Chain A
Amino acid sequence: MTTPAEGPALDVRGLAKTFGTKVAVADIDLVVPPGCFFGLVGPNGAGKTTSLKMMTGLLRPDAGDVHIGALDVWRSPVEAKSVIGVLPEDLALFERLTGTELLTYTGLLRRMDPEVIAARANELLDVLGLREAAGALVVDYSHGMRKKVALAAALLHGPRILFLDEPFEAIDPVSARTIRSVLERFTDGGHTVVFSSHVMELVERLCDRVAVMNLGRIVADGPLDEIRRGRSLEDAFVDLVGAAETAGEQLGWLGSSSG
């Protein structure tokens, strides 16, 4: 899928962020080729969300550069953001708008033609199974529906690269399959997806390349098979970030019949 002659879809150099005395992201480098399905995995608090926010121009880094193709996210934010789609982890949306209104709003913010917005919004709502709920307020949506409408908003302007923070967290299998098929279609068209996730099976199934983050640093980065080295991704992940074994002697009462 990757064409060596093309530049990377995402090029991150020396990205760093500190909150008070806590180092959230410590000098990370990342190169993501175009057309790639890239997984960013790591335990809670590893710095994934902070990194994604800095890569998408939502949080100013203390140091470092982020390029989307040839566009510098922090020096040419308007141009860079025109080729980026974002699905944030916290799903803070304008939830007193309906699904259709939210997509219209997002499209007009991006200065799209109203007719194009209407056509694409209808298509996205159909594909994502939100047709019935198009006129309901987003505040009344389920978690899965919120993810799907946020994904529709991220795709509406036809971005070249999508940044998705935990897109498969806490959603039902049907919604997960719908989102997955839309993303696969997106990368089949030569576009790039960068997403963070805790669901290792999904990362294994979807991603060409993976980066593992821990304590604000990239501890491994490369093609999926290189990271796994014959193990499951979960085992590789646990080895890389380290995890305490559950004590066998404790919790002995679990599973016993006495209350």
Chain B
Amino acid sequence: MVGVFVRLKLALLRNSLRRNRQHQVGLVAALLVCLPLVAVAFGTLAALHGRPAHRLDVTIILFSAVPAGWTAASVLFFGVDETLDPALLLPLPLDRGDVMRGVLAASITGIAPLAVLVALSGAILGFGREGGGLPLVIVAVVCEFLLGLVGARLATTLLSAVLRSRRGRDISALLFALMIVLISATTQGFLAALRNAGTTTLRPVVRPLSWFPPGWVARAMADAAAHRYGMAAALLLAVAAVLGLMLWAWAWAIDRLGTTPEPQARTKPSQLNLFARPFGWLPRTRTGAVAAKELRYLWREPRRRVNALLPVMIPMLALVAERLRGGRLDHRTVLIAASVAVLGSGTFFNQFGTDGQAFWTNVSAGDDAEADLLGKGGAAFVFLLGAGVVMATVLSAISGGWAYLPVAVGVAAGTCGAGLAVAAVISVRAPFPMPDARNLFAAGGSGAGCAVALLQLLGLIGQAVLAIPIALLTLAGLEWSTPLLAAVALVGPVYGWFVWRAGVRVAARFAQPRQPELLDAVSPRRKAA
């Protein structure tokens, strides 16, 4: 049975690479990212030899991160690798032992588990070269690998019903996107802290981590290296007992798989009105309906929710990082709030692609490109300007720069209008279908990634060109004359409004006679049979 699963996994990998150029590119990219990471982890663990002062702390952190990361990745990517889902094996005449052995074999087969094993084996060089502890260190590395392997399977099987539900998929997709942003931000802070104060800063983190099984593995290796073989063996026995317990729990979870219903969707009375309460003032017209739908989608659709959150999160994280580095927030920091509009409007460059095939609803209801574009752009304007105002208010409260609040709002409105004008034109001139994938960062299907990236770049250049008057006025105000800043607060919204309306007019003139073509362009291509 193990051989069947390994062959199945290898065949799936081979076929997916043969069939899909994107997967080939993905594999190369994964290798390019994976190899340096593996080398760094292996090298770090191997270099711990002869450094007893640091090695336990560093190893506890690394050994805790591996099972945690493996489990998190398995949960977030649930369903991507179907050989790892025991629920799919339930209809087959296999006993539970076969299912467990098969799924474990399939999860070991692949580049990522191999990379983990290679990285962990650095510990053999780091701890196994002292005295006779080598066999214990090897057992410890195997135990650590198994903790990740079984932990990931246990978590995904326990959460299977939730992860299979639409709500679970939405949440995991959102968490994945946010995790990437947070990891990149916290890694910077973590490394900076390490550089500033050395491994002593890790102590508050290390102590609680050492109480868990990965910490026991690390401690066992340190004991083996220090010739405390009895203590090391006892710790490894405890880890083996935990592994046995995890396997038992996994078996229990597999037995429950066929009988646990998926969580049901709930109906809320508030979901009977297209116009969410804060946007009840929108007109009951075609434009208002499109705007109300877009605002609902900004929250309810994972891809758009991430796109909406990122422009707000990125400047905030940058400010937090700056504060951690000891930087001060002066009054002008408030102006950073305008970056929400600049960054955010770039996420509206494919306004019909996000509708996809469902755009037929609009085409079928009678073509009115201008009303649709005004609704879509209007919703974006409301959201981005709203986010900009909230952020400017928060930054004013923190920095005390209340005088800059209207300026920030003026700059945000001006640049937002410029960005959305460009977005309207690009949305109708170069629409593309969005991939129906769980990867929220995927740009476009059919190998259109490069074209889409180029388009985004052109859009950003266009946005920058249209925003020049506001930028110049703001810079002049900051450098030479404060009254000019007051002018920005007044001129910004007016300029943004007119530029956006002009962009919508140009886009609508092009799109109005081409609605069926627009629908065709944003509908995913059906694969030839």
Interface, chain A (partner B; CB < 8 A): 56-60, 77-78, 81-82, 84, 86, 88, 90, 92-98, 100-101, 104-106, 108-111, 114, 132-137, 139-140, 153
Contacts and interface: CB of A to CB of B under 8 A. Distances in A.
Contacts of B272: 98, 100-101, 134-135
A114 B284 contact: yes
A101 B296 contact: yes
A134 B166 contact: no
Contacts of A77: 366-367, 515
Given A77-B367, A110-B366, 5 more contacts: A81-B364, A81-B365, A81-B367, A97-B293, A105-B292
23 contacts: A56-B364, A58-B360, A58-B519, A59-B520, A77-B366, A77-B515, A86-B364, A90-B357, A92-B356, A94-B355, A96-B296, A100-B271, A101-B273, A105-B274, A105-B292, A105-B293, A106-B361, A108-B286, A111-B285, A132-B267, A135-B270, A136-B265, A137-B166
A102 B367 CA distance: 18
Contacts of A101: 271-274, 293, 296
A59 to B, nearest CB: 6
B286 A109 contact: yes
B364 A98 contact: no
Interface in B318-369: 355-358, 360-368
A259 to B, nearest CB: 11
A92 B271 contact: no
Given A92-B357, A109-B286, A132-B267, A97 B364 contact: no
B265 A137 contact: yes
Contacts of A109: 286, 289-290, 361-362, 365-366
Contact of A93 (B273, B361, B520, B523): B361
B271 A136 contact: yes
B266 interface: yes
Most buried by A among B289, B358, B363, B365: B365
Contacts of B367: 77-78, 81
Interface residues of B, number: 42
A56 B519 CA distance: 13
Contacts of A57: 363-364, 516
Nearest to A77: B367
Contacts of A97: 274, 293, 296
Contacts of B269: 135
Interface string B262-294: 000111111111100000000011101110110
A135 B296 contact: no
Contacts of B273: 100-101, 104
A78 B513 CA distance: 11
Contacts of B360: 58, 86, 88, 92
A132 B264 CA distance: 13
A101 B267 CA distance: 13
A128 to B, nearest CB: 16
B274 A133 contact: no
Contacts of A139: 166
Nearest to B264: A140
Contacts of B362: 109
Given A94-B361, A108-B286, A81 B366 contact: yes
Nearest to A80: B366
Nearest to B526: A90
Nearest to A95: B358
Contact of B363 (A58, A82, A108): A58
Contacts of B510: none
Given A58-B364, A81-B364, A135-B267, A96 B286 contact: no
A56 B365 CA distance: 10
Contacts of A98: 267, 271-272
A169 to B, nearest CB: 17
B151 to A, nearest CB: 31
A97 B296 CA distance: 8
B300 interface: yes
Given A86-B364, A96-B297, A134-B272, A108 B357 contact: no
A56 B266 CA distance: 35
A98 B300 CA distance: 11
Given A78-B366, A140-B166, A92 B516 contact: no
B49 to A, nearest CB: 54
A136 B266 contact: yes
Contacts of A137: 166, 265, 271, 300
B377 to A, nearest CB: 17
A35 to B, nearest CB: 23
B366 A82 contact: yes
B301 A96 contact: yes
Contacts of A114: 284
A108 B300 CA distance: 21
Contacts of A136: 265-267, 271
Contacts of B290: 109
Contacts of A135: 267-272
Given A98-B271, A105-B274, A132-B267, A93 B358 contact: yes
Query: Which 4 pairs, one residue from A and one from B, show the smallest C-beta to C-beta distance?
Result: A92-B357, A108-B289, A140-B265, A109-B365
A93 B360 CA distance: 8
Contacts of A133: 267
A81 B358 CA distance: 17
B98 interface: no
Nearest to A114: B284
B159 to A, nearest CB: 19
A187 B300 CA distance: 38
A105 B360 CA distance: 13
A110 B284 CA distance: 11
B301 to A, nearest CB: 5
A98 B270 CA distance: 10
B81 interface: no
Nearest to A140: B265
B82 interface: no
B288 A108 contact: yes
Contacts of A100: 271-274
Contacts of A92: 356-358, 360, 523
A96 B300 contact: yes
Nearest to B286: A109
Nearest to B267: A135
B517 interface: yes
Interface string B160-186: 000000100000000000000000000
Interface in B508-526: 515-517, 519-520, 523
Contacts of B520: 59
Quick one: which of B358, B364, B516 has the most chain A CB within 10 A?
B364
Contact of B284 (A84, A108, A134): A108
A173 to B, nearest CB: 23
Nearest to B372: A109
Contacts of B357: 90, 92
Contacts of A111: 285-286
